[in-house]
Amino acid sequence: MYPRSCDTFVALPPSTEGQRIIFGKNSDRPCDEVQEVVYFPAKEHIPGKVECTYIEIEQVEKTYAVVLSRPAWLWGAEMGANEHQVCIGNEAVWGRESADGDEALLGMDLVRLGLERADTAEKAVDVITDLLEKYGQGGNCMEDECGFTYHNSFLISDRKEAWVLETAGKHWAAERVEAGYRNISNQYSITTKIDKEHPGMRTYAKEQGWWDGESDFSFTDVYSYSSTARIQAAGGRYCEGQKLLQKSNGHITAQTMMDILRDKESGINMEGMFMSTGSMVSVVPKDAHLPGVHFFTATPDPERSVFKPFVFVSDVPPLKHTSSPCFGEEDPVKKKPRFQSKPNRKHPLFLKQEEAAAIIDSSGERGLGIVEKMRDLEKQKLVEMEKYLTEGIEDSSLLVHLFTDTVEEEFSVYSSD
């Protein structure tokens, strides 16, 4: 199977300007799939179960507040952040271990569960790997295509560090990143620097004949298809992402990350049947007294979208403009056999941006004017957020409707002549 999926990036000092961690991700999904941005407040739970995309698992006593960008048909998320400024994105990976299997936890479910249950990046690694061991990973990863399954890699960051977690079935390896930059794509990338691992990972590889038990253990060498496949993959988006990060090394900002996610020449901003259907950039100061700012597009193609800021404060209401219609028990995903009908999941912003994109594609004067106003709005928000990132928040009530208000400003851009 040709690796079709996403790219996730993180930059830490000294590769960034100021004592900040910059996280970014494009979610590359089927071109007709809607990605929504939703917020769930912190919540205390009575003992019981939580229903994920395909299976139920044990619920924890308390879940943290999260903001998520997710395909609208499922429970989990492609990417997101929580109130403790933990950010997670996942990628599809394929290797020697078969990805075929029964319905279990999707990688996207594990993203949401990690955010809801962990207040640091390292704890998120532990949450995800514990759940992987208990419940496994598996299930169809598209709404209307049966049999599209994969293993997952994750890039996880917080205020002080980042972790790369790569999985093959229930086996996994994790690498701590304390400085510089790192990216993941659709290939294994952890080599001999392994800071945590599944206790049976090496024994299993030896039993399968993938490792001789004596040479240096490289997770990528052992669990990838072959050296040839690995070399071919290294020539793709993974290496292009590294080059773009290196180009701005020492000066990486939120704007830098947005530009990387918009880069079409590298293939990072994907077009075609699989395209970048949602994007995220987070700016997280190392200083715990300062807020993190999380920008989401909630619309396809970051080049034709606006990154809108979200800040965790008390009493944030539901993000109605980027929430898709809910079909409850009538949703075809919940029924068997599945995929007999596919409901319209387009949220209000998606519909508005879809209309604007048609105008922009016409290359007329009005289309150029819309793009210019979109960029002006985004730059305005970047400037406004800089105050909070450097000075903190004096009146949190001003930020309760920040994301929704910005979406309404985006509506105005699309409605203007």
**How many whole angstroms separate alpha carbon 295 and alpha carbon 409?**
15
CA neighbours closer than 13 Å in the CB half-sphere of residue 81: 27
Confirm whether 31 is a catalytic residue: no
Token pair listed for 129: 């790997």
3-state helix, strand, coil in the chain (%, to 5): 35, 25, 45
Q: Is 39 helix (H, G, I), strand (E, B) or coil?
A: strand
CA neighbours closer than 13 Å in the CB half-sphere of residue 332: 12
Amino acid at 207: E
- Neighbouring C-beta atoms of residue 396, cutoff 10 Å: 15
Chain centre to alpha carbon of residue 198: 24
**How many whole angstroms separate alpha carbon 361 and alpha carbon 75?**
33
| Sign of the CA dihedral with 176 first, then 181, 187, and 189 last | negative
**How many whole angstroms separate alpha carbon 242 and alpha carbon 56?**
38
Token pair listed for 364: 């007329």
DSSP single-letter state for residue 382: H
Of 320, 278, 314, 283, residue with least CA distance to 296: 278
Q: Is 81 helix (H, G, I), strand (E, B) or coil?
A: strand
**How many whole angstroms separate alpha carbon 145 and alpha carbon 226?**
28
Contact 140, 146 (CB under 8 A): yes
45: left (phi over 0), alpha (psi -120 to 50) or beta: beta
Q: Could you say which of 6, 52, 87, 141 is catalytic? A: 6
Which residues are the active-site residues? 6
